[in-house]
Chain A
């Protein structure tokens, strides 16, 4: 099996598979849209970080008990909306609403006394909601420009229908990552937005390499139209590369998550790594199982 995979002589009939995966894709799309609508209308709770909602965070390293935390949650100085603790470390993060500077300083000192740490060892962060909005707005603007350019590039080098397929695969990856985020309730931070933009890169990179391979095979078959044989040959051959590339891309990212977890560090880098990993897995999946059903539709013979 491995040898076949390596030689690219697996005899999977992708044209046939296409119909099955088309159905899966439709189901996926319905689920994604349902989740998207549910989270936009507030039925599902998007766990947005303070960067989007505005507020303050306090992060400290200390030894604590559950009683300490419930004390903090019922304190009279600031309304603490959420807290976060980590399995392998003594870090606690409190998130509070925005208040006057006085109250915030008072709360900081309160935490310092409560947990017997120096006030300047508590990592304090304040954000207005504008910062997160700014990043999102700019991200969306970057997205639109990027996608138009890429669509042009792909139409120019391959054909316009390919660029549509690439965009569908891309949206699939973004929506999948987003859905997982909403369903698990992972916190959406500006790092997540950056990660989503990176996923775009990955997803397209993968799809472009595939199209290139498709073009190559077409050339070697000396035909101008895509047919079943070209499709099957290409995808059987490209399977190994897809797996290899995903593995080499995923390994550094998995090591961030694993080491981060081991050292008990959660934060920006982990915020970044998790969506990337989801995106890479999804990108590998979509570059084959989302493109194939659509490519099958193009095939006439």
Chain B
């Protein structure tokens, strides 16, 4: 009775888990290489503190969440100084990537002039061309592109000419040196108090005075020069004017400001601005060390290939085992099927509960583990054969084979587990997926060997003691040794 429970435990467990997974239609969460999407590894400098990377990952997550329409983005720290960003099935990938990876230097800079007033870049001066009156000569200050009239390399500490696209048409601003940066911001929030969207901006206590001084200066001016540009990475995101009721003697005090956005787009631009102000700058700068785009069809093909190869492999291995080991082969086939069901369910559940994604390398790990698992059966059956050869009785031989083989399998699986753990701990990205499935499969293999095979083999041994049922050998063959 006790043996029967032991025998049925793993098969029943696997059937139960598989049914649970099937009924709730939980499927393994597929990695990007299997469902298509974009995957980027961002790498920071070697000596970057882990805390800063964690902070950066938090900011990236918020940014991508604020971006919307990304289904289940995955941003995780991988290795010591790398961040793995996976954006599955995204249409506007480049934009999303930009949103995640750029450091985002956020600055506040007084506007000196803009193309709104002049019609062309304030950086360019035109003079009459004596040769061709229709084509005036253009001259630009150093560091400014003569064609576009934009600063080539923006330096926030001097005057620069930067582009804004936030109004739906391009505007080029001439900006003074940065007065405040993203680091001065404490918080920013989009609110809708009086039928109007407002971005409520709070500066840090120590930065409040800086903001007051800056607004004092701006409030004394008129026109474009009353504007304070919010610049993120060489692009003017917004350039609100200082309200007319601000006293130039006092400025805006208390370290808070509100930017009125209006009511044109249900608060979308207000929210975007608030997100930029809040999460504008990452504390670390990253470099893209690897970008991989996988089309959805290629992903699907690969998945099918993996599944088909796995299934066909399993079937051929089963036929092979049945051919060699007959009744015991049947045990092996049942065990492998149960193993497969359990493994699938666990991968699916890990995806559901822990967010584990099955990648191509993971599938490779599974396929490799089929061979290792089948080997446990082979080791036991071969031991059984050895025991029979020395003339042991059938029931004794099965018990002994199971006991002896356990030691061998334990050592061999141990090697495999050590390999998986080391690979998992030391490797990056895809190798980890491989190590995890291989390690998991090996642990399962140990359980199956200890609980299922070691009861099933003596059990089957009781059905018939004619070796022909277990090996392609007759009793005479064995006795002749």
* Chain A partners chain B: yes
Chain B interface: which of A22-30, A79-87, A143-151? A143-151
Chain A contact patch, size range: 35 or more
Determine if A121 is an interface residue (Cβ-Cβ < 8 Å).
yes
> Is the Cβ of B364 less than 8 Å from the Cβ of A142?
no
**With the chains together, A198 CA to B439 CA distance in Å?**
12
Task: Give the Cβ gap from A165 to chain B, nearest Cβ, in Å.
Answer: 15
Determine if A245 is an interface residue (Cβ-Cβ < 8 Å).
yes
> Which residues of the partner chain A approach B434 to less than 8 Å between Cβ atoms?
194, 198
Q: A139-B427, A201-B419, A255-B309 are in contact. Are A130 and B289 (CB under 8 A)?
A: yes
> Which residues of the partner chain A approach B129 to less than 8 Å between Cβ atoms?
none
> Which residues of the partner chain A approach B290 to less than 8 Å between Cβ atoms?
51, 125-128, 131
Query: Which single member of A3, A135, A249 contacts B477 (CB below 8 Å)?
Result: A3
> Which residues of the partner chain A approach B48 to less than 8 Å between Cβ atoms?
none
Determine if A263 is an interface residue (Cβ-Cβ < 8 Å).
yes
Determine if B248 is an interface residue (Cβ-Cβ < 8 Å).
no
**With the chains together, A141 CA to B301 CA distance in Å?**
34
Task: Give the Cβ gap from B212 to chain A, nearest Cβ, in Å.
Answer: 41
Determine if B23 is an interface residue (Cβ-Cβ < 8 Å).
no
In B384-436, the 8 Å CB interface with A consists of 385-386, 389-390, 404, 407-408, 411-412, 414-416, 418-419, 422-423, 426-428, 430-431, 434
> Is the Cβ of B289 less than 8 Å from the Cβ of A241?
no
Query: Which single member of B308, B363, B385, B415 contacts A259 (CB below 8 Å)?
Result: B308
> Which residues of the partner chain A approach B291 to less than 8 Å between Cβ atoms?
124-127
Q: A205-B415, A205-B416 are in contact. Are A237 and B386 (CB under 8 A)?
A: yes
**With the chains together, A14 CA to B181 CA distance in Å?**
77
Residue of B nearest to A193 (CB): B431
- Give the one of B43, B371, B390 with max A CB within 10 A: B371
> Is the Cβ of B378 less than 8 Å from the Cβ of A127?
no
> Is the Cβ of B309 less than 8 Å from the Cβ of A259?
yes
> Is the Cβ of A212 less than 8 Å from the Cβ of B382?
no
> Is the Cβ of A8 less than 8 Å from the Cβ of B295?
no
Determine if B174 is an interface residue (Cβ-Cβ < 8 Å).
no
Number of B positions contacting A (CB below 8 A): 74
Chain B interface: which of A34-42, A63-71, A266-274, A291-299? A266-274
Q: A125-B292, A255-B316 are in contact. Are A248 and B415 (CB under 8 A)?
A: no
Residue of A nearest to B365 (CB): A198
Residue of A nearest to B377 (CB): A248
> Is the Cβ of A6 less than 8 Å from the Cβ of B473?
yes
Q: How many A-B residue pairs have CB under 8 A?
A: 212
**With the chains together, A121 CA to B316 CA distance in Å?**
36
Determine if B314 is an interface residue (Cβ-Cβ < 8 Å).
yes
Query: Which single member of A59, A191, A250 contacts B371 (CB below 8 Å)?
Result: A250
**With the chains together, A89 CA to B324 CA distance in Å?**
38
Residue of B nearest to A134 (CB): B428
Determine if B372 is an interface residue (Cβ-Cβ < 8 Å).
yes
> Is the Cβ of A268 less than 8 Å from the Cβ of B411?
no
> Which residues of the partner chain B approach A171 to less than 8 Å between Cβ atoms?
none
Residue of B nearest to A216 (CB): B404
Determine if B310 is an interface residue (Cβ-Cβ < 8 Å).
yes
Task: Give the Cβ gap from B21 to chain A, nearest Cβ, in Å.
Answer: 23
> Which residues of the partner chain A approach B374 to less than 8 Å between Cβ atoms?
245, 248-249
> Which residues of the partner chain B approach A51 to less than 8 Å between Cβ atoms?
290
> Is the Cβ of A194 less than 8 Å from the Cβ of B422?
no
**With the chains together, A123 CA to B324 CA distance in Å?**
45
> Which residues of the partner chain A approach B79 to less than 8 Å between Cβ atoms?
134, 138
Determine if A44 is an interface residue (Cβ-Cβ < 8 Å).
no
**With the chains together, A268 CA to B412 CA distance in Å?**
28
> Which residues of the partner chain B approach A146 to less than 8 Å between Cβ atoms?
418-419, 422
> Is the Cβ of A255 less than 8 Å from the Cβ of B313?
yes
Residue of A nearest to B413 (CB): A205
> Is the Cβ of A7 less than 8 Å from the Cβ of B478?
yes
Residue of B nearest to A238 (CB): B382
> Is the Cβ of A149 less than 8 Å from the Cβ of B418?
yes
Determine if A209 is an interface residue (Cβ-Cβ < 8 Å).
yes
Q: A240-B382, A249-B372 are in contact. Are A212 and B305 (CB under 8 A)?
A: no
Chosen A-B contacts, 6 in total, with CB atoms closer than 8 Å, are A6-B471, A130-B43, A138-B426, A142-B422, A142-B426, A194-B434
Complex A-B, nearest 10 residue pairs according to Cβ-Cβ distance, in ascending order:
A252-B313, A249-B371, A248-B374, A256-B309, A212-B408, A131-B290, A142-B426, A201-B419, A255-B309, A255-B312
B residues engaging A (CB < 8 A)?
Answer: 33, 41, 43, 79, 287-295, 297-298, 301-302, 304-306, 308-310, 312-314, 316-317, 320-321, 324, 360-361, 363-364, 367-368, 370-372, 374-375, 378-379, 382, 385-386, 389-390, 404, 407-408, 411-412, 414-416, 418-419, 422-423, 426-428, 430-431, 434, 438, 471-473, 477-478, 481
